[in-house]
Structure formats: structure tokens, C-alpha cells
Structure 1
Amino acid sequence: MANSKGNRRRFGSVRQLRSGRWQIRYPDPGTGLLRPGESTYPTKTDAEVALSLIEADLTRGQWADPDAGKVNFGEFADAWLRDRKLADSSRERNESVIRLHIKPTFGAGTVADITTSKVRAWRTRLLAGGLGEPTVVKAYQLLRAILNTAVEDELIRRNPCRIKRADQYDVPERPVLTVEQVYAVADAVRPRYRLLILLAAFTTLRFGELAALRRRDIDTDRCRVHVLRAQSEARGRLKDKAPKSAAGVRPVAFPAELLPDVLRHLEHFAGKGQDGHVFQGPQGGLLRRSNFRDDWTTARDKAGVPDGVHFHDLRHTGNTLASSAGASTRELMARMGHSTARAALIYQHMTSDRDQHIAGALGEMIRKSREESDPGPSGT
């Protein structure tokens, strides 16, 4: 039982409990009724300081109801994901990360239970458990986004995800194939996939964009591919969708040297009619990553290309080759289907061959300048 002796104040009250500790009470902004503080304090001074801080927060409009954050985090995360407008594939990936890597630690507790120290310990455990750094970064970014909404909803005052650089990781430099290596893989793969390899490298289209191509999207007169859609897979089901941005709808020219391969492929392997898929699976159905993966691995190994090279690296290869051929940032953006220059600038680095060419050109300028300024033997 509390000591009946209290301390009347202008804001709230402080009283000593039988245990000897001190308790604060203050008017709830919603009801006006006195509510007890979340904890008790060892001294009267400590209690009065805590009460003053609450009063200051209320005056500045920064007070947060301590009970607001006592909602189950797992349920809050489910609602957060349900309310987001996402593509099916993105929703499936996010749901998987939340279910496998976030909920096992935080799902049973409340939103208010999550602290920065708990987030740090959770992240350390994921990394120590062998989970790849990109997945850990994705999990951290998702947790932070969910808790940002909790801050906006005034369930908590601050987001506890405040770990420096936890939302970043160093992306290793992807391998770049030579033209000879690209053709070596194309020669080694089954004939129905030869053009898939060549277009991936020399138009830099993504796998989903290639898988969604129809006959009518191939302009053999102008050696051009029209990208109008991309294939996506969610929960095992394939469907076509519009590109992520308007820049994704684009024509991409392919080298005329590929035209014989294009015509041969359209004649023997493409679906029937103008709406037939250019690339099909081994049984004539839709092309899936899963039913092409073994073909890629086998052809890559047969061609002597290193194990770490993925199909998507053909896009990286094509962008690098285009940059080396003199493509400007804007031209690279157009071919890649990007609306910002950030990705295109990655390929604007100078290769050693290009650097030697520049040095050679500078040397030629030096030689011409010296020849013009040197009067020769007659001037000595």
C-alpha cells in the first residue's frame, strides 16, 4: 500500500510507496484522468525529474502513449505488408524474409519491446548463423521500414533500427565475359537457347524481359527488339507484367551479325503466330528460370567459363561492352531501361584498353606539337 502522504504539484504528483520507491502520476492527455508512470524511482528527485520530462514532452507535443506500443509485432508486421502496394514477386520475397528472419525473434513480443540493443544482437546472430549478408541487409531494411510506420502511427517515439551501415553491404564486382566467351557458351548450349545467350549479352535484356518476348516484338528489318513487358514468377505461377518504369518500355538494337541466329531461331524454336513466345521451355511451354538453369550451368562449364558466372552477368557484360564501344550515359540508360543515371554510371569506368587508347591519342598530340615547335637542324 502506498504512503498516503503525497506531494501536490502544478503538474501531476509524486508519492512514496511502502517499498520506499517513488511513483509518479500525471493526467492522461486523452482522458484527463491520472495515470501512473511506467516505472518507479529510487529517490524523490529522480521521480520529479521524470515527471518534468513528461510535462515537457506534452508541452512540445512529443509525448507518446507508453501503452500504444504494446501491440503484437507479428500482427503489426502482417498488417504492414498487407497494406503495401507491391508486385506479387516483391510481396512474396518480403513475406518470406519477415517469416523466416524477423518473426522468429520479434514476432511474439510487442512493438515497444524492440530496442536498438535487441536489433543489434538479432543482426549479429543472423550473420553468425551463416545467412548471406545481402539477405541480412534486406531483413534489416524491412524491419526498419515496419518500425518507421510504427513511429508514424505514434506507437513508438523513435525507430530502434539505428545501427550504422547495417542497411548496406559491399557488392562484389561481377565478372565480365569476353565476346569469345559469350560465343563459347552460346556454342555449347542447346540450339533452342543459343539466341537467348546472345541477346542477353548484346542487348542486355533481363531474363524476364527475354522470356516475355513475342514474335511481333522482333523487328528483323531494323535489327531491333521491342521490350513491352517482363515475365515474373510468384508462388510458382508465371505472368507478364509491365516494366517497373516507363523507361523499361524501349526498343533495343542488336548487332546485325546476330540476324542469322535470330531468323534461324524464329524458324525452328519460337511459338506460332505473332503472339507466340520467342523463347519457350523444352516442352514448348513458358520458359522458366528453373528449367533453364541446368542448361546454363552445363554450357558454362563446357565452355570453360568460371563457376561463379551467372546468367545475369551477361547483362553486366553487355553493358560493359557497350560502354567500351563509346556509349554515353544516356545511351546506356536507354538500353538498360533505367530512368536514372546511377546504374549506367557504373559502366562508365575506363577499361585498361580504353585507357591505353586515350594515352596513345595524347601521345600523338604531343608528337605533333613537338614536331611543329622543333625548328630542326637549320634552327640550331
Structure 2
Amino acid sequence: MANSQGKRRRFGAVRQLKSGRWQARYRDPGTGQLRSADETYATKTDAEVALTHIEADITRGQWSDPDVGKVLFGPYAAAWLKDRTLADRTRERHESVVRLHILPTFEARPVSSITTAQIRSWRTARLSVVGEPTVVKAYQIMRAIFSTAVDDELIRRNPCRIKGADRYDVPERPILSVSEVYALADAIAPRYRLLVLLAAFTGLRFGELAALRTRDIDTANGALMVRRSQAEMQTGALFDKAPKSAAGVRPVAYPTELQADVERHLAHFAGPGRDGHVFLGPQGGQLRRSNFRDDWIKARKRAKITADVHFHDLRHTGNNLAASGASLRELMTRMGHSTSRAALIYQHMVSGRDREIADRLGSMIRKARGDADS
């Protein structure tokens, strides 16, 4: 109860409370109900100034219900994730990042209370315990959640405004020579020899290679048709998914010099039938990173590759080898990197510029293999 009532104003009113502090009151522009400002003030003048700001916000259409911003971050983030249309693996990664790296700090805080300074402090703390790529991903998700909160009028401005926090510089990865690629192929278990060669000389990703079926290989034209990519859930479940963009579905020519390896592999190691997987695990099941990793590490040691070369570095190597003489568009098409893809039909690709790229790679193979044999 108030012990004094301020004089009537054109907008709202102020009154002094028993505590001696002053309260500002006004009509909610949406419901017409009387409501109080979020805080009380030391002086009557301060309360009147607060009313002036509220009135100005309402006039400009910038006023938002203060109670809306009291929604807790945890439930709001959960609803945000539920509303997203995401691939299963992407959803699993998002949920994991939110659960492990965001909620421990922000779950119980009101959305409207989270500031840029708090996010900066959180980011610094996370960088001290986990890798930068993980923190960048967490920050990107945070920024997206708050962008939706702005659209939902829970907050006026996105607090994720830390320059450069949404990206990181990828460290330079090693590039192998053609001779080193073949040293790895010669050193690895025979069932994985073609996997290494195709990764290097077509630039396909591990998931794309693992998802290849026998019907995807056109031995007559020396080309692969990439239609899908294998994904693995945290539970260990494997499934084939469509590429992230239309550019991911593409024909890729391979060098003629790999033809004998392709035919030998199909005859001895591929799954049965046209729909059988080209690459299988050691027990005949689906190939997965976990049942390939040990073979890769052993082959790297046998081949005397001292650098910490990852399998994905073969794709990086192939990208660099193919870049010689290829236009940016041709290279992006071959690597599946284009966000908007021209209508290129299969016959044109295998007999045109992509075949020329594969032939140039073939000449590199002949030269490297010839030097090794001499």
C-alpha cells in the first residue's frame, strides 16, 4: 500500500511506497491493465523520468512486455530446438552442444537478463577447457537462439555481438604428394587400398565413400555418382542421408590409372549385388570410422608418414592436385562445394572438363609411379 499518491499525469502515475522508494505505474498498451515498472526508484523525479521513457517506447512502437523477457533460457532453448527443421545428425549435435556447453551457464537465467558481457565471459571460460571449433559452434547456436528471441519480441537486441566469435581460422593441414598417397595405399589393408586412392584423386569425403554402392560406379566412363553420405549417430547407428545441398549430388570422374584398382576391388571386396556397399568393414559389415581408424594409423606408420595426417587430408590433397588448370566453378562442382548448381547432365560431366581434371591427375600418377619404379 502507498502512503502518498503522486498528482495525476497525462501518462501513468507515480506513488511513494512505505519503503520510501517511488513506483511508476501505467496502462499496458495491449491489455489496458494497470502495471508497475520493473523496478522502484529512489526519487519521485527518477520515477517520472522512467514513465517518460516508457511512454516514448510505446509511441515509437518499441515497447515490449517486460514479463515476456522473464522466460528462462533453458525452456526457451528447448522449444527453439524442437521447432527447428534439422537432419537427425545435426539435431543430435545441436542438442549435445546446448546441453554440454550452454545450459550449465545460462539454463536458469531469464532470456532478457543475459548480457553481452556475460556471453563474453562464458566464451572465455569455455575456450579454456574445450577446443575453439566447439566454442564457435556453441556461440553460433546461442546467436541463432537470441535472434529468434528478438523476432519473438522477448528482447530488443541480440546480446551475441562479439566480433569474430562466430568463426575460427582452420589450421593449415598437410598436403601429401602423389608418391605419399600411393605409399599409404600400398601400406594399408588391401580392402582399403581403393578407399585411399579415391579419397585422394576424387576428393570424396569419408561419408560419401562409405555410402557408395556398386551401381554408383560407372567403370565404362571412369566416374562415380555421389548420391548420399553416411552419417553416424552418437548411439553408433549408421544411416545414409542426402547431401546438405544440391551440389553434393554430383558425378566425379576418376583417373583412368585407377581403373585396375577399381575393378579388382569390386571383384574381391564390394558387397553383393548392384546395391551392395563398395566399401565394407573388416567383418563384412558397414564401414565406419571406428573400424577403419586403426588400419589408417598402422598404414601411416608403415608408409613412414611422420606428419599427423588425417584421412580427411586426402580430400584436401586431392583438392590441391585438381586445382591445377581447373576453374573455380569446375573445382567447386567436383568437390561438391557449390551452393547453387548449374544443370550439368552426367554425360557432359564425364566426357568434358571434369574428365580433363581426372586425366591431369592421371598424368601426375604416371609420373610419380614412373619415378618410383625407375
TM-score normalised per structure 1: 0.86
Cα pair 1:281 1:287 within 8 Å, conserved: yes
- Post-superposition Cα deviations, 1:51-89, rounded to whole Å, max 9, x if no partner, equal 111111111111111100222211111111111111111
For residue 51 of structure 1, what is the amino acid of its counterpart? Answer: L
For residue 144 of structure 2, what is the amino acid of its counterpart? Answer: A
In 2, the alpha carbon distance for the partners of 1:306 and 1:21 equals 72
Cα pair 1:25 1:34 within 8 Å, conserved: yes
Cα pair 1:189 1:295 within 8 Å, conserved: yes
CA shift at 1:126, angstroms? 0.6
1:338 equivalenced with 2:347 (yes/no): no
Q: What corresponds to 1:287 in structure 2?
A: 287
Q: What corresponds to 1:180 in structure 2?
A: 179
Cα pair 2:5 2:14 within 8 Å, conserved: no
In 2, the alpha carbon distance for the partners of 1:243 and 1:97 equals 22
The share of aligned pairs that are identical, in percent, is: 72
CA shift at 1:44, angstroms? 2.4
Q: What corresponds to 2:8 in structure 1?
A: 8
In 2, the alpha carbon distance for the partners of 1:175 and 1:52 equals 63
- Bigger shift: residues 163-172 or 100-109: 163-172
Provide the secondary structure at the position in 2 that maps to 1:226.
Answer: strand
CA shift at 1:19, angstroms? 2.9
- Post-superposition Cα deviations, 1:173-209, rounded to whole Å, max 9, x if no partner, equal 2211111111111111100000000000000011111
Q: What corresponds to 2:348 in structure 1?
A: none
Equivalent positions of 1:150-165 (< 5 A) are: 150-165=149-164
Cα pair 2:247 2:339 within 8 Å, conserved: no
CA shift at 1:282, angstroms? 0.5
In 2, the alpha carbon distance for the partners of 1:322 and 1:231 equals 24
Provide the secondary structure at the position in 1 that maps to 2:120.
Answer: helix
In 2, the alpha carbon distance for the partners of 1:171 and 1:335 equals 22
1:104 equivalenced with 2:104 (yes/no): yes
Cα pair 1:175 1:313 within 8 Å, conserved: yes
For residue 125 of structure 1, what is the amino acid of its counterpart? Answer: A
1:219 equivalenced with 2:241 (yes/no): no
CA shift at 1:34, angstroms? 1.6
Q: What corresponds to 2:312 in structure 1?
A: 312
Q: What corresponds to 1:345 in structure 2?
A: none
Q: What corresponds to 1:233 in structure 2?
A: 232
Cα pair 2:21 2:41 within 8 Å, conserved: yes
Provide the secondary structure at the position in 2 that maps to 1:252.
Answer: strand
- Post-superposition Cα deviations, 1:295-323, rounded to whole Å, max 9, x if no partner, equal 11111122122342211111111010011
Cα pair 1:333 1:340 within 8 Å, conserved: no
Cα pair 1:301 1:307 within 8 Å, conserved: no
Q: What corresponds to 1:168 in structure 2?
A: 167
Higher relative contact order structure (alpha carbons within 8 Å, sequence separation ≥ 6)? 2
Q: What corresponds to 2:371 in structure 1?
A: none
For residue 123 of structure 1, what is the amino acid of its counterpart? Answer: R
Provide the secondary structure at the position in 2 that maps to 1:160.
Answer: coil
In 1, the alpha carbon distance for the partners of 2:76 and 2:175 equals 44
In 2, the alpha carbon distance for the partners of 1:340 and 1:239 equals 24
Q: What corresponds to 2:362 in structure 1?
A: none
For residue 42 of structure 1, what is the amino acid of its counterpart? Answer: A
In 2, the alpha carbon distance for the partners of 1:102 and 1:266 equals 47
CA RMSD of superposed structures (Å): 1.4
Provide the secondary structure at the position in 2 that maps to 1:126.
Answer: helix
For residue 119 of structure 1, what is the amino acid of its counterpart? Answer: I
CA shift at 1:106, angstroms? 0.8
In 1, the alpha carbon distance for the partners of 2:215 and 2:54 equals 68
Provide the secondary structure at the position in 1 that maps to 2:174.
Answer: coil
Aligned residues: 339
Cα pair 2:223 2:251 within 8 Å, conserved: yes
In 2, the alpha carbon distance for the partners of 1:125 and 1:330 equals 41
In 2, the alpha carbon distance for the partners of 1:45 and 1:103 equals 40
Q: What corresponds to 1:27 in structure 2?
A: 27
For residue 73 of structure 2, what is the amino acid of its counterpart? Answer: F
Q: What corresponds to 1:202 in structure 2?
A: 201
- Bigger shift: residues 52-61 or 229-238: 229-238
For residue 255 of structure 1, what is the amino acid of its counterpart? Answer: P
In 1, the alpha carbon distance for the partners of 2:7 and 2:138 equals 49
- Post-superposition Cα deviations, 1:115-174, rounded to whole Å, max 9, x if no partner, equal 22211111111112x210110111111111111111111112222111121112111122
Equivalent positions of 1:1-380 (< 5 A) are: 1-128=1-128, 130-234=129-233, 235-324=235-324, 326-340=325-339
Cα pair 1:176 1:313 within 8 Å, conserved: yes
Cα pair 2:245 2:339 within 8 Å, conserved: no
- Post-superposition Cα deviations, 1:78-112, rounded to whole Å, max 9, x if no partner, equal 11111111111101110100000001111122222
In 1, the alpha carbon distance for the partners of 2:110 and 2:33 equals 25
In 2, the alpha carbon distance for the partners of 1:108 and 1:37 equals 23
Q: What corresponds to 1:367 in structure 2?
A: none
Q: What corresponds to 1:370 in structure 2?
A: none
Provide the secondary structure at the position in 2 that maps to 1:321.
Answer: helix
Provide the secondary structure at the position in 1 that maps to 2:94.
Answer: helix
Cα pair 1:200 1:318 within 8 Å, conserved: yes
Runs (5+) with no aligned partner, structure 1:
342-380
In 2, the alpha carbon distance for the partners of 1:201 and 1:254 equals 10
Q: What corresponds to 2:369 in structure 1?
A: none
CA shift at 1:261, angstroms? 0.8
For residue 166 of structure 1, what is the amino acid of its counterpart? Answer: A
